[in-house]
C-alpha cells in the first residue's frame, strides 16, 4: 500500500524556506509582506501598535486633566449641574451622558456580533451589523454635538473661560471629548467602508474576513476609552 504524500501548506513552505536562509536575506524573508513574524497578520499587528500609541496619548490627556483638577484653587463645576438635561421643566442630572454611554456600549455588542458572523463567512449579516454599529456611533457623535452646543451657546463655556467655576474646565472638556469624538467619527467612516466592501464581495477571493476583527479592535478601544472619560470627567 503506497503512502499518500500531502504537500505542505503555503505557510509551512514559507517557514521552511525562511529557516533555510540565513543572514540578511533570511531577516528580509521573515519580515516580508507575506509573512506573519508576530504570529498574527500584519494588519492586526499594526492595529495593536496603533492602539498602543493612542493609549499613551489618551493617558497623557487624562493625567493632565486630573492634575489640573486637583491643583486648581477655584471650585470645579459640578458635573450633575453642568450636564443636566431639562425634561418637562425638570433638570435631570446626567441624562444625556447616560444615553450616550448606553448607545456607545451597545455598539460594542453589535460589533462583536459582526465579528462572529465574519468568522462564519456570513458577509451579509456581518456587514449589516457593522452598519448598525456605525449608525450607533453616528448617534453618539450627534448627541455629543448637541452637548457641545448646549454648553457653548447656553452656558457660555469656552476653552479659555467658564462662568460656572474653574477656567480650565472648558479647555479640558473640549480637548478630551473632542479628541475622542474625532476617533468615533473616523471609526464610523472605517466601519461603513469595510461594510460596503463586504457587501460588494471584495474579500470573497481571499476568503479572509479578518478585516472585520481588525475594525472591531479599533471600535472596542474607542468604547473602552469612553468608559475612562465617563468615570473621570462626568462622575468625579
Q: What pLDDT is stored for residue 152 in this prediction? A: 93
Average pLDDT value for the chain: 86
φ/ψ of 206, rounded to 5, equals -80, -15
Where in 59-185 does DSSP place strands (E)? Answer: 85-87, 90-92
What local confidence, expressed as pLDDT, does residue 43 receive?
A: 84
- The larger pLDDT score, comparing residue 8 to residue 49, is at 49
Which residues are CB-contacts of 1 (< 8 A; sequence separation ≥ 6)? none
pLDDT tens, 149-207?
999 998 888 888 888 888 899 999 999 999 999 999 999 999 999 999 999 988 877 66
Which percentage of the chain shows pLDDT scores above 90?
A: 59
Take residue 101 and report the three cell numbers written for it. 454611554
Kindly state the cell numbers that stand for 85. Answer: 438635561
| CATH of range 40-234; options 3.30.1330.10, 1.25.40.10, 1.20.120.80, 3.30.470.20 | 1.20.120.80
The Cα–Cα gap between 19 and 27 comes to 10
Long-range contacts of 49-56 (CB under 8 A, 24+ apart): 51/217, 51/218, 51/221, 54/183, 54/221, 55/221
Closest by Cα among 185, 180, 177, 168 to 150: 177
At 36 the pLDDT is: 58
Domain ranges of the chain: 1-37, 40-234
> Which of these, 139, 146, 118, 141, lies nearest to 211 by C-alpha position?
118
Amino acid at each position: 500500500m503506497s503512502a499518500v504524500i500531502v504537500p505542505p501548506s503555503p505557510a509551512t513552505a514559507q517557514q521552511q524556506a525562511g529557516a533555510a536562509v540565513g543572514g540578511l536575506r533570511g531577516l528580509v524573508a521573515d519580515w516580508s509582506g507575506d509573512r506573519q513574524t508576530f504570529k498574527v497578520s500584519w494588519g492586526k499587528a499594526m492595529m495593536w501598535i496603533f492602539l498602543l500609541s493612542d493609549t499613551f496619548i489618551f493617558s497623557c490627556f487624562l493625567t493632565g486633566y486630573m492634575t489640573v483638577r486637583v491643583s486648581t484653587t477655584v471650585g470645579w463645576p459640578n458635573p450633575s449641574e453642568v450636564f443636566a438635561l431639562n425634561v418637562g421643566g425638570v433638570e435631570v442630572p446626567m441624562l444625556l451622558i447616560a444615553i450616550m454611554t448606553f448607545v456607545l456600549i451597545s455598539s460594542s455588542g453589535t460589533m462583536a456580533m459582526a465579528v462572529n458572523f465574519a468568522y462564519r463567512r456570513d458577509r451579509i449579516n456581518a456587514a449589516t451589523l457593522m452598519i448598525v454599529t456605525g449608525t450607533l456611533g453616528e448617534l453618539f457623535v450627534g448627541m455629543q454635538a448637541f452637548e457641545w452646543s448646549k454648553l457653548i451657546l447656553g452656558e457660555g463655556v469656552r476653552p479659555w473661560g467658564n462662568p460656572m467655576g474653574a477656567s480650565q474646565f472648558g479647555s479640558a472638556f473640549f480637548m478630551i471629548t473632542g479628541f475622542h469624538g474625532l476617533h468615533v467619527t473616523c471609526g464610523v467612516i472605517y466601519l461603513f467602508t469595510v461594510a460596503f466592501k463586504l457587501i460588494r464581495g471584495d474579500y470573497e477571493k481571499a476568503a479572509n474576513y479578518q478585516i472585520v476583527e481588525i475594525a472591531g479592535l479599533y471600535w472596542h478601544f474607542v468604547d473602552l476609552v469612553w468608559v475612562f472619560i465617563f468615570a473621570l470627567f462626568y462622575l468625579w
